[in-house]
Amino acid sequence: MFSVMPSTQHMDLAQTMEMVQFMEMGQPMEMAQTMEMVQFMEMGQPMEMVQPMEMVQPMERVQLMEMGQHMEMVQPMEMVQPMEMVQPLEMMQPMERVQPMEMVQPLEMMQPLEIGQAMEMVQPMEMVQPMEMVQPMEMVQPLDMVQPLDMVQPLEIVQPVDIVQPVETVTARLVDEEIWRKLDLLGTEMIVTKKGRNIFPKLDYRVEGLEDDGYYKMSLSVIRADTHRYKYLSGEWSACGNGEARNPQREVMHPEGVKKGKDWAASIVSFAKVKITNNVADSNAMNIVLQSMHRYIPVLQVTRVFDLSGEHVSEIHQFQLEFTSFYAVTAYQNQEVTNEKVKENKYAKGFRRNGKNRLDSSPEEPQTKQWCPPTQQIVEISAPLTVQNQLGFAPEQGTAWQFKWNMKDLVIQLRGWGLFYASKGHGMLRLWIGSRPIIVVIRPELAKIVLESSELITKGPEYNVLIPWLGTGLLISSGEKWRHRRKVLTPSFHFNILSSFQPVFDYQAKILLEQLLPMAEGNIFFDVFPYVKRCALDIICETTMGWAVGAQTNHSHPYVLAVREMNSLAFKHERMPWLKVNMIRQVCRNGFKFVCSYLSGFQSDFNKNLKIVREFTDNVIKARMEEHQKYGHHTDGKRAFLDLLLEMNEENLFSYEDIREEVDTFMFAGHDTTAAALGWALWCLAHNPNCQMMIRKELDDLFDGSLRECTSDDLKRMRYLEKCVKEALRIRPSVPNFARFVEKDFCLDGHIIPKGASIIVSPQMIHCNSKVHENVDVFDPERFSEENSSKRHPYAYIPFSAGPRNCIGQKFAIQEVKTVLSWIFRYFEVSAEIDFFDNLPLPEVIVRPEHGFPLKLHKRNELELPKSAN
């Protein structure tokens, strides 16, 4: 990092130099001239003014180096006598020694160095400070030109320019400087709290002297002003010993990211939303952690960069205004400071006794939201381009109108956007659905902030389409309702209860084998997905509702078909926001069938399938309630999830509507998602026969060819199979996204996400992020060995979400998937018809395969398949 030098310092180069060839960045500079002396500079020393130079013709241009670039040196060289010849040098090799060379032709021009490129020189130096200004050179006497040198690459010829531009002089001043200076005379104090408190007076800056078309980013840090700890004694602050160990310094980036100088200069650079806290565990990127009873000072950093990516720094300017130093306190010590702040701060209503100037606004809320204007609520017709610049960060991609209509093309488009920005190191991707911004998180560090935040508990509006089906059960509810439901339902997934479900898993898995056997004997490729979906439905019905529906023997079960259709409709509805416009809905309701079918056919299809699902659930609940009333609890010795809900109903904790919400939620979440996990695991293993072989060996060692059922202990010993299941869920997570609704402005990675936006954590994009996982498209179960798992970020693998709203049934799902797969691989080998990547994952509510799962099963041996019926 460099600081800009005063303009009084110059650079001293050797006198009577015959010619200097300048080369592109990273290439050494070959010299073939008579040099009388080169000044060596110690690190950080400025270069003296350039001395006059004799030339035949006036130089037409001198290109200046960008601020902050340094020059590398090659080998040290003492004063050199005239030379007859220069030996050619290999590119990037230092020049050891130079042979004499005759001077024959006049030098016509000096080749300039491209802006932003480093220059290697003969003399060694460790660092060079940038120059404020270069004095023009006098043209005095002719200088003969040397013969050109052999180069590995030609020099780039740059056309001369008329004048030398001086390097910019950047200044910064505070808008509220007068208030800061008043408080400084009293000894400014700032309150630090666990929650965080805004800094007052505000840190609003005017930055001037920026190059109009140059790119800059702004940041703020607060550093210790000295090494002391302080006490307030006898009306003044006094040092009372050495300060405590410093907290790691946090630099808060301005959320508007990288902008041109003219854009920064046109408005106030505001850090009004920065808060100071004494909570060392605070992870909010907009909060700065300070220690009470220490003295601090804010530092504004203006960083010039080469482009909008902000990755390559050209120069840095730091502004540390002495009158802004303050003492961090948990309560004001100096009453005069309190009085002055109350007088100047209209939000300090809590200190005013008479209430004259009280406001309805929160004392922590800034007067204006300069970073992100309030979201406009679009009720009728959306206007996606009117708020295009509401979020001040890049990258941005797409509106609904840019989305591909074909599902396959859309998957490729979204994956391409995500992988492109992930490869550039970005953590977020911005999309637009109508007028609503969607922030897609593609980095595990940011996923952790979102999923663990107590402010982002509410599910996004992306789930609203499911409310007519699932109600506001555990999956969709928020606030106190969600907290109550989660607390009450968590015991239902205790280990002992899950163990009691194991016989159901075994029984339904054996029925699945009976259904698969005829297809295996036919030696044909067939779609396995409908089979595993029916198996998963039978399992969830029996474990959730205590009711066997026999979906595996009834291949056209209406519930299975209805759930699949509703999944597809929900995703279609979300990516076509015009379907939500009331005017279009009204037209559809008034009987324009063609418009309804083309624009919205959604509602009628959804209602038709919803009726099927509702009737199925209601019938099962009513039948179970009748059993309870007639025979009492646990008549068959098995305790289902519905039994627990019915007991809560009897205790007036749950109404009938509450029961139906949770049953529908668990039927959906425990059926379709688990079936997808089973199908994708089979698809992955069909393309990896070596992994199948290791699974079979593990199972053969465990069961030794017997027909016995799995136990909970057996499942624990299926370690390699579990690694394969986890790797399949990494490559193809059943649920592609987890959405959260932003109820109030939220800071993420230095950007303010405005109220009304949605933040989507995407397991699909995080799991295939090459910055997170190596060889992302390779199926490698050993990623989940204990050693490799311990090295991985905990949020780099989140197929079941994470944080307080993680999947309550994830252990249930893993137990079910392992049980069913163990039965399949005990008796069959599996192969695939098409290439793995030709079967794209279509991101509906779950990740559905484009072509199903076309597999062929080969019976391993002549062992008789187990019978499902006793």
Output the six-digit token pair for 824: 């399949």
What is the DSSP secondary-structure string of 262-275?
HHHHTS-EE-TT-E
Q: Which residue has the tokens 């024959």?
A: 104
SS3 state of residue 441: strand
Please say whether the beta carbons of 327 and 295 come within 8 A: yes
Residue 197: DSSP 8-state: E
CA 751, 572, 746: angle at the middle one, nearest 5?
Answer: 15
CA end-to-end distance (rounded Å), the chain? 77
Environment class of 250 (CB within 10 Å of its CB; exposed 0-12, middle 13-18, buried 19+): middle
- The H-or-E segment that residue 741 falls in is strand 738-741
240 is annotated as contributing to ligand binding: no
Please say whether the beta carbons of 272 and 203 come within 8 A: yes
Whole-angstrom Cα distance, residue 585 to residue 605?
Answer: 14
How far from chain centre, in Å, is Cα 835? 31
CA 258, 129, 6: angle at the middle one, nearest 5?
Answer: 90
Please say whether the beta carbons of 761 and 401 come within 8 A: no
Please say whether the beta carbons of 540 and 548 come within 8 A: no
Whole-angstrom Cα distance, residue 800 to residue 676?
Answer: 13
What is the DSSP secondary-structure string of 770-827?
TTTSSSTTS--GGGGSHHHHHHS-TTS--TT--GGGS-TTHHHHHHHHHHHHHHHHHH
Strands 295-305 and 275-277: unpaired
Please say whether the beta carbons of 34 and 82 come within 8 A: yes
The CA-atom distances, in angstroms, between 246 and each of 226, 279, 290 are 11, 13, 9
For residue 564, the cross-strand partners are none
The CA-atom distances, in angstroms, between 794 and each of 422, 724, 790, 814 are 18, 18, 8, 18
Sequence letter at residue 824? I
Q: Which residue has the tokens 């009726």?
A: 611
Please say whether the beta carbons of 67 and 167 come within 8 A: yes
Whole-angstrom Cα distance, residue 437 to residue 461?
Answer: 12
List the binding residues for heme.
807
List the binding residues.
807
